[in-house]
Amino acid sequence: MEEKYTFLKEFYGRKELEEAYGDNALLLYALQLKFDIEDIDSIAADALTDGADDKKCDLIFVDRELGVAIVAQAYNRTNPKDTDLAKENKASDLNTAAAWVFSDDTSEVPNTIKDAVLDLQDAIKEQAISSVCFWYVHNLDENNNPKIAIEMAKIQEQVQAAVDSKYSEQELKINTLEVGLNTIQKWFDNSTRRISVEKDYIVECYKGFELSAESWRAYVTAVSGKWLRNLYLENKDDLFSGNPRNYLGNAKRKHNINSGIMDSVQDEPENFWAYNNGVTALVNDFYYDNDKDELSIKGITIINGAQTTGAISAPENLENDFYIPCRFIVCSKKSIIESIINNNNKQNEILPSDLRSNDKQQERLRNEFKKYPALFYNGGRRDDTIVKNKVVFEPYLVAQTILTFHGDSVTGYNGRKRIWDEDKLYSQVFVDQLSVEHIIFVYSLSKAIDEYKNNLRKKKESRNDTEQQQMEFLSKRGSKMLLIATISECIEDIMDVKISDKWKLQFKDNSDFEKLIQLWTSVISSIISFNSNLEPALEGGLKNKELVNSQIKVVKSIVASVKGYLNTQLQSVIDEIQK
């Protein structure tokens, strides 16, 4: 099968995925490909449901920034053959998952899935989510069992009708998708190939003009909006294989530009050319036939203008045509192609981390991370570097965990983008005394909590009562950040030493990141035993700073009373920390 599905070689090479997540490994691999996720382990810790009582739902992934949620069910056949059929009942299970996800009475939802359901429902009520997609992920050929496509369409229709009734004032779109080997291969190709749409097209456009340089040539024109819309409806996100981002949807959330584009298309089509910055596309070749007044292109990927393209395709009908500025570029030199893509996307609605990526602190940290070849930190600088066999330090999570460790878990949990966006918060995290070694110290604690939770998850029905309580605690929104803050507050008592500057805390030897994760395990095991004292701070999510600080102080006083015992039990860890 590897000859037909080339992504399998890379997937099978990532043994840590299967070792950590078993039957959910392919699901997480697919999610990572689709959404270009750097640190899949951190996402898995929050998104994977508890296998012991998952209610036909293996994953609930909510991304408010993209305005999308994924609810997934996974099936993996042992030793699959080319002709094997995916199970239909697993697709049908998504109906059960939908019933729990959109349940009116969340008190009936199992504790280990309840917070994920509440998070998704809150995101919908806040209009931060415009699309919920139900995935059926399996390791077989989708073409083998056409009945699944019929079942998925039926589920989409039924769930959409229920959602339209429940959220009548919101424009919430329900989608279903069978994610088998063919789809994952397509996503893999999109991640490794610039132009995935290889067809030839006649472009409906005005006669334009050609420009060229040593490494590229381009045709500048204005294309028919209806032509571009049909191109997207035919190819969907494959059209954006060379773009850092796909279409982000039209949720009515703050800073979303796509609703405005849709309004312009429908209300003022004659002015759209003047209002819009236009589209840039890479093509394999183009030719303008002067006799026919006709532009033809070979292959296409839109590298700038994904939001425009998606937004004009969202309305069900467009009565009047309109025109969009457009450039078609041919270039065979890889380095120039990457520069074209990167420079074109600087004009996009950009992430806060993009604006900070050239900050002196990020430059410093990127350079300091070079001391550790097994670790990778991009400092907010997005590029097309393929990172393999390295531990990726996701910049947003780095900022969240550092802020949390230094006293503000509420903002650390809720302010993923704010930390990079607001000067005051940014300067609290990325200070001169922040060393790479301290980042490793705190980030390894975060990863250790993820691993601790995953190990509990894998025990399923064999968990004892204490472990079950811990699993329920770790399934609550904000529990990881609360635990990091609690360990930080208690670290003096744990180590039984005065710590004058927490920014200097680091491990003596940072050469083996996996070993550092294991060192934290005994600390986590000790502190999480006080989960009942911390749980009140998680009511409704991690939001109330006074309540959070109050509950952490309760645990700190308990830890202080048993610090002699803890110091003895954790001595092997303490010896590895540089005071």
331-357 tens-digit pLDDT:
877 667 767 776 765 544 455 555 676
Mean pLDDT, consecutive 10-residue stretches, the chain (579 aa), reads: 83 89 94 88 88 73 89 92 90 88 83 83 89 95 93 93 86 92 88 79 94 92 93 88 56 46 72 86 93 93 85 77 93 73 57 66 93 91 64 94 97 92 92 96 97 91 92 92 97 92 96 96 95 92 93 96 91 91
Is residue 530 domain-shared with residue 395, that is, in the same domain? yes
User: Across the chain, which distance is largest between two alpha carbons, in Å?
Assistant: 90
Burial of 459 per CB tally in 10 Å (0-12, 13-18, 19+): middle
Domain count, the chain: 3
Q: What is the pLDDT of residue 396?
A: 93
**What Rg, from alpha-carbon coordinates, does the chain have?**
25
Instruction: Provide the residue type at 498 as one letter.
Output: K
Do 135 and 73 form a contact (C-beta atoms < 8 A)?
yes
For the segment 271-314, what is each residue's pLDDT rounded down to a tens digit?
Answer: 888 888 889 999 999 999 999 999 999 999 988 888 888 888 87
Domain with 360 in it: 353-578
Is residue 330 domain-shared with residue 464, that is, in the same domain? no
Is residue 455 domain-shared with residue 441, that is, in the same domain? yes
Instruction: Provide the residue type at 164 as one letter.
Output: D
Q: What is the pLDDT of residue 84?
A: 92
Burial of 398 per CB tally in 10 Å (0-12, 13-18, 19+): buried
Identify the sign of the CA torsion 555, 560, 561, 564.
positive
Is residue 333 domain-shared with residue 394, that is, in the same domain? no
Is residue 63 domain-shared with residue 77, that is, in the same domain? yes
Write the CA distances from 183 to 2, 33, 174, integer angstroms.
15, 11, 19
Residue 1 lies in a domain: no
Residue 496 lies in a domain: yes
Q: What is the pLDDT of residue 192?
A: 65
Write the CA distances from 461 to 53, 174, 196, 457, 465, integer angstroms.
9, 32, 45, 9, 10
Q: What is the pLDDT of residue 37?
A: 87
Selection from 439, 433, 429, 434 nearest residue 407 by Cα: 429
Give the angle subtended at the CA of 305 by the CAs of 301 and 308, to the nearest 5°. 125
Q: What is the pLDDT of residue 166?
A: 87
Is residue 341 domain-shared with residue 384, that is, in the same domain? no
Q: What is the pLDDT of residue 518?
A: 96
Q: What is the pLDDT of residue 348?
A: 46
Residue 109 lies in a domain: yes
End residue of a domain, out of 349, 379, 410: 349
End residue of a domain, out of 349, 376, 401: 349
End residue of a domain, out of 146, 165, 189: 189
Q: What is the pLDDT of residue 253?
A: 42
Do 569 and 495 form a contact (C-beta atoms < 8 A)?
no
The whole-model pTM stands at 0.76
Q: Which residues contact 412 (CB under 8 A, 6 or more apart)?
A: 400, 401, 403, 404, 419, 481, 484, 485
> What is the number of H-type helices and E-type strands within the chain?
27, 15
Residue 334 lies in a domain: yes
Q: What is the pLDDT of residue 176?
A: 94
Instruction: Compute the half-sphere exposure of residue 135: CA atoms within 13 Å on the CB side of its CA.
Output: 26
Residues 345, 339: Cα–Cα separation, whole Å:
10
Q: What is the pLDDT of residue 248?
A: 52
Q: What is the pLDDT of residue 38?
A: 83
Selection from 393, 418, 543, 431 nearest residue 481 by Cα: 543
Residue 2 lies in a domain: no
Is residue 181 domain-shared with residue 202, that is, in the same domain? no
